[in-house]
């Protein structure tokens, strides 16, 4: 378990999380530095580079507002409603320039950290993916930036910023979000116990019982399938940036247990928001 450390002013985040948010925002700004074709496509998305950067600037502002205690309605948590909210926000926000968007991404990440540091909001916060505390919301912000930072890195043909340490800091959000983004149709009738192990990190359980999904803090008893994943591969699979068969072919995923054939099915039981 990560040690809680003070960030000053009464707020606290797990050790390294605030630094990871700040550094990831800076890494994304560095990606955009010198980008000349903001209308270029982003692999795997329908957005351009400029639209993806604008979405990050908007999302960082949304997270900062939530951390400061403001109520911001943004969809109802379903992938369809979030996509519609994203489309509306981009249509209302015309900025697509690399330099101003890079500055906004950094400034709004700092605003989030400032709100946490001041301790202006305590308890449960209402977010686009349901109620969360400040730690999980901070993990959400980091995860979101890493996902779209990866998209921008691919589009601009630059190295991405995902690493083992940052993936570990995404886990509080990912474990909270899994039951909320389960694909009800795909999970209907499924009964299975999974153990997920991130190489070099923690292990936890995910169980399915006829459409009900539960995330456990430790591996379940009599696990049907254990999945060991390299950290960067784990995050890319969870965010829908890499398919399970691709990951297994690259050696990024190993599976064993009573029913190892359940491993490739696991990502299909969720819909990445």
What is the reported pLDDT for 119? 76
What is the reported pLDDT for 6? 40
Shared domain for 46 and 144, answered yes or no, is: yes
What is the reported pLDDT for 5? 43
What is the reported pLDDT for 120? 65
193: left (phi > 0), else alpha (psi -120 to 50), else beta? beta
Please state the three-class secondary structure of 70-91 as a single string: CCCCCCCCCHHHHHHHHHHHHH
pTM score of the predicted model: 0.93
The answer to whether 154 touches 42, Cβ cutoff 8 Å, is yes
Q: CA–CA distance from 258 to each of 21, 42, 61, 100, 105 (Å)?
A: 39, 40, 46, 53, 46
Residue 104, token pair as written in the block: 């906004």
Shared domain for 98 and 157, answered yes or no, is: yes
Ordered per-residue pLDDT tens for the chain, 273 residues: 344 444 433 358 999 999 999 999 999 999 999 899 999 999 999 999 999 999 999 999 999 999 998 988 898 888 889 999 999 999 999 999 999 999 999 999 999 999 998 876 667 899 999 999 999 999 999 999 999 999 999 999 999 999 999 999 999 999 999 999 999 899 999 999 999 999 998 999 999 998 789 999 999 999 999 999 999 999 999 999 999 889 888 889 999 999 999 999 999 999 887
Residue 95, token pair as written in the block: 């900025």
What is the reported pLDDT for 248? 86
CATH number at residue 254: 3.30.1050.10
What is the reported pLDDT for 211? 78
Domain-terminating residue out of 178, 207, 239: 178
Distance CA 119, CA 244 (A): 40
What is the reported pLDDT for 122? 67
What is the reported pLDDT for 191? 95
Report residue 7: phi and psi, to 5°.
Answer: -100, 0
CATH number at residue 39: 1.20.120.450
Domain-terminating residue out of 178, 200, 219: 178
| Domain hosting residue 241, numbered range | 181-269
DSSP characters over the chain:
-PPEEEEETTEEEETTHHHHHHHHHHHHHHHHTT---TTSB-TTSSSBHHHHHHHHHHHHHHHHHHHTT-------SSHHHHHHHHHHHHHT-----HHHHHHHHHHHHHHHHHHHHHT---S-EEETTEEE-HHHHHHHHHHHHHHHHHHHHHHHT------HHHHHHHHHHHHHHGGGSB-HHHHTT-EEEEEEEETTS-EEEEEEETTEEEEESSPPTT-SEEEEE-HHHHHHHHTTSS-HHHHHHTT-EEEESS-GGGTTTGGGGB---
Domain-terminating residue out of 151, 178, 205: 178
Shared domain for 32 and 65, answered yes or no, is: yes
Shared domain for 144 and 27, answered yes or no, is: yes
Number of independent structural domains in the chain: 2
Shared domain for 16 and 92, answered yes or no, is: yes
Shared domain for 49 and 170, answered yes or no, is: yes
Distance CA 90, CA 246 (A): 32
């Amino acid at each position: 378990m990560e040690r809680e450390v003070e960030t000053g002013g009464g707020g606290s985040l797990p050790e390294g999380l605030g630094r990871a948010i700040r550094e990831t925002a800076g890494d994304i700004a560095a990606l955009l530095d010198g980008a000349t074709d903001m209308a270029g496509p982003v692999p795997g998305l329908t957005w351009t580079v400029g639209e993806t950067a604008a979405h990050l600037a908007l999302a960082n502002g949304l997270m900062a507002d939530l951390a400061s205690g403001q109520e911001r309605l943004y969809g109802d948590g379903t992938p369809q409603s979030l996509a519609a909210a994203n489309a509306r926000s981009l249509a209302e926000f015309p900025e697509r320039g690399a330099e101003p968007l890079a500055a906004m991404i950094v400034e709004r990440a700092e605003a989030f950290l400032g709100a946490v540091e001041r301790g202006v909001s305590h308890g449960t916060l209402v977010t686009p993916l349901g109620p969360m505390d400040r730690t999980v919301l901070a993990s959400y912000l980091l995860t979101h930036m890493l996902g779209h930072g990866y998209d921008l890195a691919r589009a601009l043909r630059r190295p991405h910023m995902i690493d083992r340490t940052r993936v570990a800091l995404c886990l509080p959000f990912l474990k909270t979000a899994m039951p909320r983004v389960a694909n009800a149709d795909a999970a209907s009738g499924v009964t299975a116990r999974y153990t997920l192990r991130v190489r070099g990190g923690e292990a936890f359980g995910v169980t399915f019982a006829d459409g009900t999904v539960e995330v456990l803090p430790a591996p379940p008893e009599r696990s049907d399938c254990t999945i060991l994943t390299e950290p960067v591969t784990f995050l890319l699979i969870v965010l829908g940036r890499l398919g399970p068969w691709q990951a297994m072919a690259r050696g990024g995923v190993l599976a064993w247990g009573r029913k190892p054939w359940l491993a490739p099915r696991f990502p299909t039981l969720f819909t990445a928001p």
